[in-house]
């Protein structure tokens, strides 16, 4: 008895059940991963905003020196307020508590003071700006 070569070949396609199982596993995996990715994205965005805020506060001494004017950093209704001559945009969603105004002299030195920054979703940053440089470390 002779067996032809075509009878020995196995059909190597996937069955419909196998494809459905793979699709079901992929869909379950995406339902677990996507919410975590959104949380990671939001935390990275908040961290970036915080870094921008710190950089802008750290630049106030230099801006006061270059402009030759005094800058007063204070809180007005939970927002950061500066003297009118200085136009620095701070990220939205942040509020601040400054018990005593922090003054940057025209020579770039500052008086120092306490600064508490809050983000609307609970992120908090408490710093003490020490005279004369008033730099926040990241």
The residue ranges of every structural domain in the chain are 16-129
Other C-beta atoms closer than 10 Å to the C-beta of 108 total 17
CATH code given to domain 16-129: 3.55.40
Span 47-71, pLDDT tens digits: 888 888 888 888 888 988 988 888 8
Is residue 2 scored above 80 in pLDDT? no
| pLDDT band for position 87 (cuts 50, 70, 90) | low
Strand order in the sheet with 79-81: 79-81, 71-76, 102-104
What residues contact 63, with CB distance under 8 A and at least 6 apart?
A: 71, 86, 88, 104
Q: Burial, 36: exposed, middle or buried (Cβ in 10 Å; 0-12, 13-18, 19+)?
A: exposed
Give pLDDT, residue 72: 87
| H helical segments located in the chain | 5-8, 16-58, 60-67
**Confidence band, pLDDT 50/70/90 cuts, at residue 129:** confident
Query: What is the per-residue pLDDT across 7-43, written as a single tens digit (0 to 9) for each?
Result: 555 667 889 999 999 999 999 998 888 888 888 988 8
What proportion of the chain, given as a percentage, has pLDDT over 70? 86
């Amino acid at each position: 008895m002779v067996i032809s070569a075509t009878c020995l070949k196995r059909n190597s396609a996937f069955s419909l059940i196998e494809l459905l199982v793979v699709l079901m596993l992929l869909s379950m995996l995406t339902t677990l991963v996507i919410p975590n990715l959104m949380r990671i994205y939001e935390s990275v965005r908040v961290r970036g905003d915080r870094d921008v805020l710190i950089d802008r506060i750290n630049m106030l001494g230099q801006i006061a020196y270059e402009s030759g004017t005094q800058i007063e950093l204070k809180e007005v209704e939970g927002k950061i307020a500066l003297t009118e001559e200085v136009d620095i945009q701070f990220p939205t969603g942040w509020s601040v508590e400054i018990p005593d105004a922090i003054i940057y002299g025209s020579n770039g030195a500052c008086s120092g003071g306490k600064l508490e920054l809050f983000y609307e979703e609970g992120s908090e940053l408490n710093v003490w700006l020490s005279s004369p440089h008033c730099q926040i470390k990241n």
